[in-house]
Amino acid sequence: MKNEKEIKQFVKDRYASVASNEGSCCSCCNCNTDIVEHAKSMGYSEAEIRNIPEGSVMGLGCGNPTALAELKAGETVLDLGSGGGVDVFLAAQKVGETGNVIGVDMTSEMLEKARDNAKVGSYKNVEFRAGEIENLPVEDDSIDVVISNCVVNLSPDKLATYKEVFRVLKPGGRVLISDIVTEGELPEDIRQSFDAWTDCIAGALETQEYLDTITKAGFRDVTVVAKHPFYEPRMDDRLAGKIVSIQVRAYK
């Protein structure tokens, strides 16, 4: 098995190239020319897409966590792996001027892009912090809601990630995570592939193992609130029917 440091560096390099528009796409990125249509297929409405900075919509993700997070005015939201900021900006509109949204990303190129997008959109209630999701740069018991879009699967240590999420949430706080899981065994060569890691596949857990990991981190009422197959024609035919996008809600 490839070690954690190697995986993180490869993922970081791939998404840095995506942010710079220099890299090839991945299965949790858009490979089509019409990014808006891809985003709509992931659950974003055209109105949502048109009302945030254009540069934040990068065709990344496997769902729309803000659509099901039931965000309220005044809440403090944390987005894991915030990328160009699409979910941060959507959340910022929902929590309003009295709320706050923090995006965390380990890729400096993504952080620069997101901060530029925030300036373009004149957002006053958002901030972007450098950090890894297994070691969040966020205070204990300070967050109302944690969201994430197709990022936790990229972590080599998902239990550590969810323990960190549990730490930063206020008592009674909740998560709404969109992510990739598997149903059935994946070929070993795919599990060992760096490219498959950045494609959001090699690091994906089996569905029940993923849910059990969230429970082990201390969460209660872990529920799959949406689920759909995730497969693109360019993917390995052996993956057909085995890759699934889920949206999970849980409470501290």
List, in sequence order, every residue forming a beta bridge with 228; answer none if it has no partner.
245
pTM for this predicted structure: 0.92
How does pLDDT run across 225-246, given as a tens digit for each residue? 999 888 665 678 888 889 999 9
How does pLDDT run across 76-107, given as a tens digit for each residue? 999 999 999 999 999 999 999 999 999 999 99
* pLDDT band per the 50, 70, 90 thresholds, residue 59: low
The per-residue pLDDT for 241 is: 85
118: Cβ contacts below 8 Å, ≥ 6 apart? 53, 85, 88, 89, 126, 128
Cα separations in angstroms, 100 against 57, 87, 126, 128, 206 = 20, 13, 6, 11, 33
Q: Which two tokens stand for residue 163?
A: 């323990």
As a whole number, mean pLDDT of residues 124-130 equals: 97
The per-residue pLDDT for 30 is: 46
**Fold classification of 4-251 (topology level):** Rossmann fold (3.40.50)
Domain definitions of the chain by residue range: 4-251
Q: Rounded distance, CA 23 to CA 25, Å? A: 6
